[in-house]
């Protein structure tokens, strides 16, 4: 009798995911191999499935060792570290975890926006340091009646917009295509939108197509009273330009969950109290991470059962 199918785990998985995957697969954790290249060269030909995440992805250097690979199940909705078009061309289906994290990531965007505008971290320090006994904290910026522009009004972007509505804003958005049936003002040009808003919320995918969409021109259009909230990908914002603009006072504030070279964060940002920094935790609650893990293993299990998947990435939707 043939043994179980073999799965390569790139990155780490929870105990619940490991248990679920063990029903169909013998799981090999790449991080446990001392000589990863040697292990792949020796064993790669037996691998039919990969479980990975948005951070680790699946590099061409790994994929070249896996001639029998049929499925890559990615933990996370962003899959910019997997060449999905190349996988589809090779007959490999790529899945991700959309929708189950929309609410959580939208909550993180609101959290960052409120924390940044109201200087939550600075004021918390004001209490802890005892400085409150010497005087009140300086005034902050209201989140009421702001002009908010959303860069990427997709699944998560729309959830963010829905939450922002309670703060009586003017909402507009930029993406490549105007969304039918949406009442928010659409801007085909991001710089033009940036001129008309005071708060820019970035929630597009990463990858080459969105790299540095928020460049110096956009940052300067936003201006000294402007705030950038980034919960999409660090690569979407020209980080060096953003840091310099914050130093120069050409940009007002920033709330950042994502960075260009994670987990490295520019030193200058760490000293600024008009900046709120999070370690890429947009979806990182127990509940949402469990739902994401279940979708990762659900895609794998369904594929092994009947060759179909629950949530393919768009490039693999018609395979
Ligand atoms: P989605 O539904 O595919 O929405 C993406 C939006 O971005 C769409 O409105 C799309 O509109 C727009 N877009 C794509 N490429 C663009 C471009 N080149 N220029 C301008 N707009 C562009 O995706 P989602 O589920 O909302 O997720 C969005 C991203 O959020 C993910 O890909 C991931 O990178 C990030 N994310 C981050 C975290 C975190 O922990 N911080 C968690 C989850 C997701 P058009 O196609 O019309 O351009």
138-170 pLDDT, tens digit each: 999 999 999 999 999 999 999 999 999 999 999
Question: Which domains, from first to last, does the chain contain?
Answer: 5-99+287-316 (3.40.50.720), 102-277 (3.40.50.720)
What is the per-residue pLDDT for 227?
Answer: 98
| pLDDT band for position 287 (cuts 50, 70, 90) | very high
Beta bridge partners of 171: 148
What is the per-residue pLDDT for 1?
Answer: 53
C-beta 104 within 6 A of ligand 1 = no
What is the per-residue pLDDT for 3?
Answer: 87
Distance CA 218, CA 196 (A): 11
Distance CA 46, CA 106 (A): 40
Distance CA 230, CA 269 (A): 14
Stretch 36-50: mean pLDDT: 98
Distance CA 253, CA 226 (A): 7
Stretch 290-300: mean pLDDT: 98
Residue 4 CA to ligand 1 center (angstroms) comes to 36
Straight-line distance from the first to the last Cα atom of the chain, in angstroms, rounded to the nearest whole number: 30
pLDDT for 19 beyond 70: yes
Stretch 165-187: mean pLDDT: 98
Residue 259 CA to ligand 1 center (angstroms) comes to 16
Structure token digits, residue 176: 């490549």
Q: What percent of the chain stands above pLDDT 90? A: 99
Q: Which atom of ligand 1 is nearest to the CA of 99?
A: 25
Distance CA 251, CA 255 (A): 12
């Amino acid at each position: 009798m043939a043994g179980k199918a073999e799965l390569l785990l790139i990155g780490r998985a929870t105990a619940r995911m490991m248990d679920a995957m063990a029903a169909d697969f013998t799981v090999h954790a790449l991080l446990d191999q001392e000589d990863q290249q040697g292990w792949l060269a020796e064993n790669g030909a037996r691998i039919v499935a990969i479980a990975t995440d948005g951070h680790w992805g699946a590099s061409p250097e790994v994929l070249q060792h896996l001639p029998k690979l049929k499925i890559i199940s990615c933990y996370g909705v962003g899959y910019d570290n997997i060449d999905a078009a190349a996988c589809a061309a090779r007959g490999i289906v790529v899945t991700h975890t959309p929708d189950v994290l929309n609410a959580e990531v939208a909550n993180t965007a609101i959290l960052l926006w409120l924390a940044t505008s109201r200087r939550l971290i600075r004021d918390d320090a004001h209490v802890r340091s005892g400085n409150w006994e010497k005087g009140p904290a300086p005034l902050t910026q209201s989140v009421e009646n702001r002009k908010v522009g959303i860069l990427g009004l997709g699944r998560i972007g729309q959830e963010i917009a829905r939450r922002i509505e309670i703060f009586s804003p003017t909402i507009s958005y930029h993406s490549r295509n105007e969304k039918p049936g949406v009442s928010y003002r659409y801007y085909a040009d991001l710089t033009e939108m940036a001129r008309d808003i005071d708060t820019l919320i970035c929630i597009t995918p990463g990858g080459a197509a969105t790299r540095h969409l928020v460049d110096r021109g956009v940052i300067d259009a936003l201006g000294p009273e402007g705030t950038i909230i980034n919960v999409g990908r660090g690569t979407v914002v020209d980080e060096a330009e953003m840091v310099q603009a914050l130093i120069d006072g050409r940009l007002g504030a920033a709330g950042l969950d994502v960075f260009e070279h994670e987990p490295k964060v520019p030193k200058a940002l760490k000293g600024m109290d008009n900046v709120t920094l999070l370690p890429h935790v947009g979806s990182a609650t127990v509940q949402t991470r469990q739902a994401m893990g279940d979708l990762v293993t659900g895609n794998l299990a369904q594929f092994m059962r009947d060759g179909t998947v629950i949530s393919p990435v768009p490039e693999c939707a018609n395979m």
